[in-house]
Amino acid sequence: MENEILLKLNKVYEPPTNILDTLFLKKGDYEKLYKESIENPEAFWGNIAENELFWFSKFEKVMEWNHPKYQWFVGGKMNITYNCLDRHIKNGKRNKVAYIYTNEDNQEAKITYGELFESVCRFANGLKSLGVKKGDTVTINMPMMIEQIIAVLACARIGAIHSVVFGGFSPQALKIRIQDANSKVVITSSWTKRRGKKIFLKSIVDEAVEDIPKDIKIIVAQREGDFYEYLENEIDFHKLMESQSPVCEPEWMDSEDPLFILYTSGTTGKPKGVLHSCAGYNLQTHITSKYIFNINEDDIFWCTADIGWITGHSYVVYGPLSLGATILIVEGAPDYPDPGRWWKIVDKYRVNVFYTSPTAIRMFMKHGVSWTQKFDLSSLKILGTVGEPINPEAWLWYYENIGRNRCVIVDTWWQTETGGHMISTLPSLPQKPGKAGLPFFGVKAEVVNKKGEILPPNTVGFLIIEKPWVSALRNCWGDEERFKQYWSEIGNFYFAGDLAAKDEDGYIMILGRADDVLSVSGHRIGTAEVESAIVSHKSVAEAAVIGKPHEIKGESIKAFVILKKDIEPSEDLKREIKFQVRKELGSLAVPDEIEFVETLYKTRSGKIMRRVLKARELGQPIGDISTLED
């Protein structure tokens, strides 16, 4: 029995013929196109850009690179919303459904391309009427609802830079992001419902802007049953939209004009605003939705990510819309009212392409197969995973119980910084459980040592990307030095921050982060951010945070805390510290475990050696400790 499982975990899975027939790229296409994309990137991307996107005026040059800065499609004029909306309507898709929305109460809403287009135009005009101009930033803090998509696209329509902040962040975390981006407009909604309980987003926004100067405007999408009395600086989302004209010419953006910023965690205490520009980002999300998800004309596509993360930006909004797909969005928790919820939705809406995280898969694995067996999942063709390494056991469970041995799994490795998929096996290629796969077109990914030398196969090293790709981040908001770091830590390459190994076939396996960044349920959390939140508690002197392997979440957070002099350790204090982290950062970052200690392992220069704390915690060999002070 055990042998049989081992065999399955080490097997190579060929795509089933019924799926091969539906693919845009057939067997053998990858090798040929990949080679072209590396050998002659300008011709390759120039062609794709011309064929796949609408250009108001064509670019003059495909790429320009003055390390570390790069530009793609130089001199081109376009608007991503034209590619996502106008052109589909012009191509006869006015009445095609763009989004299907559902929630925990099984309410449903649908919006066609034509209706979405009008709503976006109206709301874009609404933003203009409030004085929002090209280049201004707008912060969006909303639940999964169609209005959020309208808000995002309306910004892009007029060239305003959106900064979407995940609805699960604390008021403090939201405030820092509003201030850093210098947003004068915040868009929110009254509440969201999760596990049957209402979470009042509007009050989170209220708290976040409490001591920000009052010239900030708040737009609120009210929901069923709300009766808000608006303050002077507050505007009703729907009234604003309805009072405007349904025609709004797109702002013709330069290829390299900023499209959005999205804050993500790094190794310092401050989140960084990763900046993406218009054309390259549009192209990468479009072309990966086509070749990796292979969304066909009549397919229903469901990416379970929240729009507050890059996965939501790229594969709930821009990529599939640019392709003209029908996209499902779901508000609420995956396992509420019961662990059958997601599979019931797949069954009901006949979902064809489904994209989720290893954490979610492991959670369903734990609930048991009876919850999946009740439903007809035969519509599924392509299953995706993202956010953290998927262990071969979870891969196999996904393949057998959701894919029923007749789907393809695309493991997709990428980052907030990369904008779209970077490494993944195309659906026409053999799949290997636990390996993200091969680099996408134009991506020269290697596993190297600190000096940037390529390592032999099956050796663990740092994952780098040799040259800029079309959707590479263009900057860090207000912090060009941080941007430059990406391209200077290892040789002149882009250093992703991950550990990886490549096998004989060139398949890349991702082994996790090489830096002090945790991945909890696939969400990036900086150890330094959590530590500074803990230290902000009045009784705490010092703190160090590590990630521990966790069955479902991938990693869980453990904090080692030194208390101030004369403070007594207690369970109450642990609870207070956890609450402090929730207040500062949000519930995602709350440590599962807190241990009070007398000292932390430090280098002579005073840097905490988290590596040593972690080895000790996990009972592993401690390694080189010659620089340790104590």
CB of 94 to ligand WT7, least distance (A): 32
Nearest residue (CB) to ligand WT7, 205 versus 445? 445
Nearest residue (CB) to ligand WT7, 118 versus 388? 388
Sort residue 521 into left (φ over 0), alpha (ψ -120 to 50) or beta.
left
CB of 487 to ligand WT7, least distance (A): 16
Neighbours of 484 (CB within 10 A): 15
CA 235 from chain centre, in angstroms, equals 29
SS (H, E, C) 387-446: CCCCCHHHHHHHHHHHCCCCCEEEECECCHHHCCCCECCCCCCCECCCCCECECCCCCEE
Nearest residue (CB) to ligand WT7, 119 versus 418? 418
Quick one: CA torsion of 74, 80, 85, 91, rounded to 10 degrees?
20
Nearest residue (CB) to ligand WT7, 407 versus 499? 499
Give the footprint of ligand WT7 on this chain (CB under 6 A).
264, 310-311, 386-389, 411-416, 436, 496-498, 510, 513, 519, 524
CB of 530 to ligand WT7, least distance (A): 15
Residue type, 585: L
CB of 524 to ligand WT7, least distance (A): 4
What CA–CA distance (Å, rounded) separates 296 from 303?
Answer: 15
Nearest residue (CB) to ligand WT7, 46 versus 547? 547
Closest by CA to 392, choosing from 457, 353, 430, 436, is 436
34, 45 Cβ separation under 8 angstroms: no
Which residues are within 8 A (CB) of 139 and not within 5 positions of it... i.e. 6 or more apart? 162, 163, 164, 165, 174, 177, 178, 181, 183, 185, 186, 187
- In order of 424, 548, 611, 617, 627, the CA distances from 608 in angstroms are 36, 17, 9, 15, 11
Residue type, 584: E
Nearest residue (CB) to ligand WT7, 125 versus 311? 311
CB of 417 to ligand WT7, least distance (A): 7
What CA–CA distance (Å, rounded) separates 18 from 35?
Answer: 27
CB of 445 to ligand WT7, least distance (A): 12
Nearest residue (CB) to ligand WT7, 121 versus 510? 510
What CA–CA distance (Å, rounded) separates 108 from 56?
Answer: 36
Residue positions counted in the chain:
630
Nearest residue (CB) to ligand WT7, 121 versus 465? 465
∠440-352-28 over CA atoms, to 5°?
Answer: 35
Which residues are within 8 A (CB) of 420 and not within 5 positions of it... i.e. 6 or more apart? 281, 284, 285, 287, 288, 314, 319, 414, 471
What CA–CA distance (Å, rounded) separates 542 from 257?
Answer: 43
What CA–CA distance (Å, rounded) separates 219 from 216?
Answer: 10
Nearest residue (CB) to ligand WT7, 158 versus 508? 508
CB of 543 to ligand WT7, least distance (A): 23
**What residue is closest to ligand WT7 based on CB?**
416
Partner residues linked to 465 by β-bridges: 445, 494
CB of 386 to ligand WT7, least distance (A): 5
CB of 576 to ligand WT7, least distance (A): 29
CB of 436 to ligand WT7, least distance (A): 5
- What sections of 80-137 are H helices per DSSP? 80-81, 87-88, 113-129
CB of 183 to ligand WT7, least distance (A): 21
CB of 418 to ligand WT7, least distance (A): 7
- In order of 530, 575, 600, the CA distances from 539 in angstroms are 16, 13, 17
